[in-house]
Amino acid sequence: MAKKKNPTIRVRLIRSPIGRKPNQRSTVLALGLGRIGSVNEMEATDSVRGMVQTVSHLVSVEEL
């Protein structure tokens, strides 16, 4: 049986994590985002979607 492949999402950092809670700062780094405007494409697994939801006020998400 073939596993279903998750869709891809593009995450872009649009606001600074400075002054945010430490768990939000570490989540931004774990998503691979370092500077404002940086972009990372990744598979939209449940864990990644949860991380994006945690910092939804700092990032924009685009489904590919």
Structural domain boundaries in the chain = 8-63
The DSSP line for 1-63 is -PPPPPPEEEEEE-S--TTS-HHHHHHHHHTT--STT-EEEEE--HHHHHHHHHTTTTEEEEE
Regarding pTM above 0.75, the answer is yes
**pLDDT for position 1:** 59
**CATH value of 8-63 in 3.30.1390.20, 3.30.70.370, 3.40.50.2300, 3.10.180.10:** 3.30.1390.20
Q: What is the pLDDT of residues 2-56, one digit of tens each?
A: 677 889 999 999 999 999 999 999 999 999 999 999 999 999 999 999 999 999 9
